[in-house]
Amino acid sequence: MRRKTTKLVLIVFVFMTISGFANANTPQPPLMSIETIPAPEGNWVYLPEGNGEMVIHVSTAYTNTLNVWRVPTGTQQWENRTLICNEKGNKDDRTCIWRYTKDDTIHDHFVVEASGEGGSIKDSINVSRRHDEDHPQ
């Protein structure tokens, strides 16, 4: 009985050791959090009228590429997207600054994509103008 127990413990130890080595070499899936200036109100970021900028700060882990796309709202608009930022390298904190003019029509999704050896992750930010009360909407 003692031999069987020793053998079982040895098998479990070998299995756990091999599993640990396999997991140590497996790329981690990317992680991401997004903050914007101006800050979101509910599900939207509202930009004031006039010229300005929106700051998109992205904190990541296990990534080496970051893309930020401006995509018009509506169905099947991905082909009409515009690349706002493209950064490569193993950085944890990235900042994308998007400048707009008073003449830009803004009611869009900003899609943030981060990728690394373990895969990719995607999130979106809804962005629109905050119009003055006397603005004809």
Concatenated DSSP letters of 53-90: EEEEEEEEES-SEEEEEEEESSTT-GGG-EEEEEEESS
The pTM is what? 0.77
Query: For position 136, what pLDDT does the model report?
Result: 53
Q: How many domains does the chain have?
A: 1
For residue 34, CA distances in Å to 9, 46, 76 come to: 46, 16, 24
23 belongs to a structural domain: no
Q: What are phi and psi of 12, to 5 degrees?
A: -60, -45
pLDDT(122) > 60: yes
18 has a pLDDT exceeding 70: no
Structural domain harbouring 61: 29-130
Q: Positive or negative, the Cα torsion across 76, 80, 85, 88?
A: positive
Residue 74 lies inside a defined structural domain of this protein: yes
31-37 and 44-48: which strand pairing?
unpaired
The pLDDT tens digits of the residues spanning 28-54 come to 999 999 999 999 999 999 999 999 999
Residue 136 lies in a domain: no
Whichever domain contains 41, its CATH number is: 2.60.40.10
Domain assignment present for residue 83? The answer is yes
Structural domain contains residue 116 = yes
Report the SS3 class of residue 51: coil
